[in-house]
Structure 1
Amino acid sequence: MLSFPVGSRARQKAIHSVSLPSIPSIVHAALLALVLAAAGPLVHAQVAPDTATPMLGPSFSPEVMYRILVGEIALQRGEPTLAARAYYEAARDAQDPTLARRATEIALFARQRGLAMDAAQLWQKLDPASDRAQQMVTTLGQPGASGDLKSDLEHVFADAAAKGQTLGDAFVQLNRALSTQPDKTAVYRLVSELAKPYPGVAEAHFAVALAGYNTGLSDLEIVAASTREIDRALELKPGWEPAVLVKADIMAKSSPENAVRYLNAFLAEAPASGAASRALAQIYVDQKRFGEARAVFQRLLDADPSDRELQFAVAAISVQMKDYSTAERLFQALKTAGFGKPGAVAFYLAEIAEETRRYDDALARYREVTDGDAAWLAKLRIAAVMGKQGNVEGARQFVAALEPDGRDQEIQAKQAEAQLLQDAKDYQGAYNVLNTALADDPDSAELLYDVAMIAE
């Protein structure tokens, strides 16, 4: 199924990034500290710390630079405890609050509560005006912060409500803070309990609905409850875009057509909502209504011709619609701009050349795909194109010379060789290749299926 990050990413950004300035608030700091540090009823979170290396001050000594380097290498090797210690020592020696904050975050991830407290206290000392540092120290110092996560979070929300802080923003961020918890039903129940004391807060109802959606909506009771919650959020906050998007997502699970009607009605009232337009386009893509999807993306692209993600979406849908001239023009522009993951745009351009029977161009373009996830597939397509040119034996030799990385790629190479023979109408040869491969891997469902199909 064709899917575009531009649709889902924009929707998630709109859902999770409400009131962006509030994200580094002391309430969110408390949520993060509790979720990462608590050993409560949910499985421990496994959130990796931000991997961005902090800016290195020109006054850092060689010893401090060395400890920072040790910390970064330890993170890359999956050793967060060592990284946290290295950053804490660097922060202590350099007396730098940015390094102290980094040490706190990594220590939380490593579940080194004592070290996290030491780093947070250093952070607070070096930056006494930082609300986040103060809240980290306060939260980590709570006796209950290492026990019942539910009770700790209830305390954070109650404290935020009592002090007039951004309670709504905290509820919006709650699902993000809990996003790596594997038991989504447990998260839904937790969020539901946390929201009960706040029936007049739209964001609390929103948080419950989003948590329900994140369960996959396989439970009809959760579906009904999530629908009620998101409807209540919209009653309290009419036209609120993140709630509109969650409601559309919930509707699309059971009736994509109803979700389409709902989003079109919303866009009639709020035509400037880019997130809603992207959500609508993604539903169209999921339903293989490519013409309507492209029209939505094209309208957005016309409004912002510099948006490369929208350009990519229009180009990819054009491929699905076999409008190769439009797709090629857009992908060529994207290639010139250096857009996308390694090899992705070049692979699309190679596919277009192959589909339009420009086989020499296709071979040249597939050979450009040397990095990224598409590199291996590009090699298999080179063999396929060679076969289409009539050079079946050369293509088989090319496949035989490949160096597969693991059993899956070994199977794919054999399937590619068999396909070459099958396309050349050498069905016995194709059967022999697959049967030999199956003897080496008798449990392969892919090979069993292919052998059965060609035997017919």
Structure 2
Amino acid sequence: MKLSIPLLFALSATVCAPWSAPVYAAPDSNAQEQVELIRLRAGELPAVKLTADILYRVLAAEIAATRGRYDMASQTLLDLTRETSDPRLAKRAFQYSMADRDLPRALAAAREWAMLAPQDPEAIASSLALAASNGQTSGLASALSTRIEKADDKEQAIAQASAIVNKMSDKRLALEVLEKTLPESLRALPVAHLALADAAWAAQDADRALGEAQKAQALEPGSEAAAQRVLEYGLKVDPDAAINQTRAYLNTYPQSRKLQLMLVNRLIERREFDTALDQVGRMRRLAPEDFDLLYTEAEVNIRAERYEQAQALLNEYINVQTQRRQAISDKASNAAADASDARLLLVQIAEKQGRLDEAIVQLDLIDDGSLRYQAQVHKAVLQARQGDLASATKTIDALKPQNDHERTVAALTLASIYREAGRTDTAVETLKKADEAMPDSTEIKYDLAMLYERQGNMDQFEALMKRVIELDPNNANAYNALGYTYADQNRLLDEAEGLLERALELDPDNPFILDSVGWYLFRTGDLEAAIEYLERSYRQLPSADVAAHLGEALWASQRHDEARSIWREGKLQDPDNETLLKTLKRLGVTLK
């Protein structure tokens, strides 16, 4: 289905300090090489003469990186690292390799960096983490244990080891490695059990996760971090027991605000609204000056659909923030932002009740600078929903965008308003003008491409979507839109496969992409795999479109009763869904 991989490390080559090579005489003997090795191990820089060739290659690498050619930049710097033994070049090569998503080269650079700078914890951690992410765990536990043993701050070292192991894709193996990393001698520290608890949770072993969290809490009864895990992991094992244990903890440690809010959220998820409100009431009695709890109580009431109570609480909260603004300048407080957040909740309530005029009034009262622009954009959307297209257009035209992002939002919103009003041609013209003004905006190109597809202009759709991918190679939605279109039209299936594989790699849990992959597999005749992906999508996104696809796959598998059941659910969601209605008509199915 169309919809209008983060790097392992958040490292940006563009923010690194400029590189400058040390100027020494070049080594010319084995004895000198031994001296250099000793210096490296001591954390000193190598004695390398800055030749014209080295300078030229460093500059060439930096220029290549500024042009997005991270592959060329990283390989050049990695070659230079091996020639000069300079750890700074290795670090730079590692960063550019990560930007290029070339994990094998990144691992090679990280290993060079760690070897050349063995005292640099960032170098060692990067090398170990990247090796773990590639499934290379041999010796990892012993290496991490050694690091912890030598560390002055054992708790920090354990936390770092846990972060490294968490990079592993096989979470059960990660848990095994962490168990070997943390021998019994270290398990007197609560942080060791917290690390094991998190690893067990990631490995989907909730019982073990809860047990480790309880051990951490037994070692440090007042640990709020341990109590949070007992609640979170315990809800999976025995929800009532977890909630009771949390309440017992809060009776002893009533100031644990984060845990109290966490408990409120979990109670809301369980739709235990009265119990959640009772918990908020306890918090308010303990801290009557904590006016943020008014906002929290209002949120609970909104979830419980008790809108009158929520409105009263939000108006009280706004009055408090107004008094704060009168007493303290806006620069010295966040009162304006807090009041605006409350008004957004009032907007939400008014929309749920169909009182769009009241929602618009609240949007006009928002005066926080960071929200004002978006509030007016939303006002235009509501005016369009009221059928007042002239006022909606006037509101958009009155906006004063300060940057390309705001200009993009305005153009996309106006185009969406025209599209929903059935004026697709006007929407196209709106985005064509915006595209001319901001030719590097992938958001505008993407939406314009989707409008072309809606018009049946497939050549323009394909050309623009390919341009989006060219400008933004990590745009999962663009790969998905193009791949789904090919699969839906039952053509260029080989290309569709590659596009959808890339989309899935970039965003593996996206229900829209899962639906597209399932539909592609249906087109290629792999019904079993198609149903698996479509069911995964439907669990996250029980929409009529996904129901249409899943039902057809089930129907083709002779699972007619299941197909009818899914289609009925989809029709309840959206009785006029075009995809679903066409599917039923094509297959000659009538739902009772």
**TM tier relative to shorter chain:** 0.5 to 0.7
For 1:432-447, what aligned pairs fall within 5 Å after superposition? 434=576, 436-440=578-582
1:257-406 maps to which residues of 2 (within 5 A)?
Answer: 257-288=240-271, 289=273, 290-292=276-278, 294-295=280-281, 313-320=296-303, 321-322=306-307, 323-327=310-314, 330=317, 336-337=336-337, 348-355=345-352, 358-362=355-359, 379=381, 398-401=420-423
Q: CA deviation at 1:157?
A: 0.9
* Distance (whole Å) between structure 1 residues aligned to residue 339 and residue 71 of structure 2: 36
Aligned to 2:197: 209
**Letter matched to residue 400 of structure 1:** G
Q: Which of the residues 141, 149, 172 maps onto 1:153?
A: 141
Aligned length: 354
Query: Contact 1:284 / 1:293 at 8 angstroms: preserved in 2?
Result: no
Partner residue, 1:234: 217
Superposed displacement of residue 176, structure 1: 3.2
Aligned mate of 2:182, from 195, 210, 218: 195
Residue of structure 1 in register with 2:503 after alignment: none
Give the whole-Å Cα distance in 1 for the aligned partners of 2:343 and 2:59. 40
CA–CA separation in structure 2 for the residues paired with 1:70 and 1:262: 58
1:132 match: 121
Counterpart of 1:281, as a letter, is V
The one-letter code matched in structure 2 to 1:160 is: I
Residue identity matched to 1:149: T
| Structure 1 CA distance for aligned equivalents of residues 573 and 234 of structure 2 | 46
In structure 2, do the counterparts of structure 1 residues 346 and 50 end up closer, same or farther at CA, with 3 Å as the change threshold?
Answer: farther
Which whole-Å deviations, capped at 9, do the CAs of 1:219-251 have from their partners, x for residues lacking one? xxx61x334333333333333332222122222
CA distance in 1, matches of 2:384, 2:298: 25
Q: CA RMSD in A?
A: 5.9
Hey, what's the Cα distance between the residues in 2 that align with 1:172 and 1:339? 38
The separation in 2 between residues aligned to 1:412 and 1:371, in whole angstroms, is 33
- Looking at structure 1, the residues matched to 123 and 543 of structure 2 have their Cα atoms a distance apart, in angstroms, of 58
Deviates more, 1:431-440 or 1:234-243: 431-440
Question: By how many angstroms is 1:151 displaced?
Answer: 2.1
Residue-by-residue CA offset, 1:132-186 (whole Å, 9 max, x unaligned): 257469979x9x999841522322213422x353333333344433445443333
State the alpha-carbon separation in 1 of the partners of residues 153 and 379 from structure 2. 49
Q: Distance in 1 between matches of 2:339 and 2:111?
A: 42
| Aligned match of 1:47 | 8
* Aligned match of 2:153: 166
**Hey, what's the Cα distance between the residues in 2 that align with 1:90 and 1:365?**
61
Instruction: State the alpha-carbon separation in 1 of the partners of residues 213 and 247 from structure 2.
Output: 18
Provide the C-alpha distance between the structure 2 equivalents of 1:331 and 1:89, rounded to a whole number of angstroms: 61
**Superposition deviation, residue 111 in structure 1:** 3.7
* 1:285 Cα offset (Å): 1.9
Structure 1: segments with no counterpart, 5+ residues: 1-43, 388-394, 416-429
User: Which letter does structure 2 place at the counterpart of 1:47?
Assistant: L
Q: Which runs of 5+ in 2 are unaligned?
A: 21-54, 322-333, 389-416, 428-446, 451-480, 485-511, 513-540, 546-571
1:185 corresponds to 2:172: yes
Q: Secondary structure at the match of 1:238?
A: coil
- Larger CA Rg, structure 1 vs 2: 2
- What is the deviation of 1:362? 2.8
Distance 2:380 2:171 in 1: 37
- Does structure 2 conserve the Cα–Cα contact (< 8 Å) formed by 1:205 and 1:230? yes
Whole-Å Cα distance in 2 between the matches of residues 97 and 304 of structure 1?
Answer: 51
1:197, distance to aligned residue in structure 2 (A): 4.5
| CA deviation string 1:82-111 (max 9, x = no partner) | 5756888999xxxx9999756545546734
Structure-1-length-normalised TM-score: 0.55
Aligned AA (1:354): E
Label 1:175 to 1:135 Cα distance change in 2 as closer, same or farther (>3 A).
Answer: closer
**1:250 counterpart = 2:236:** no
Distance of 2:97 and 2:197 partners within structure 1: 32
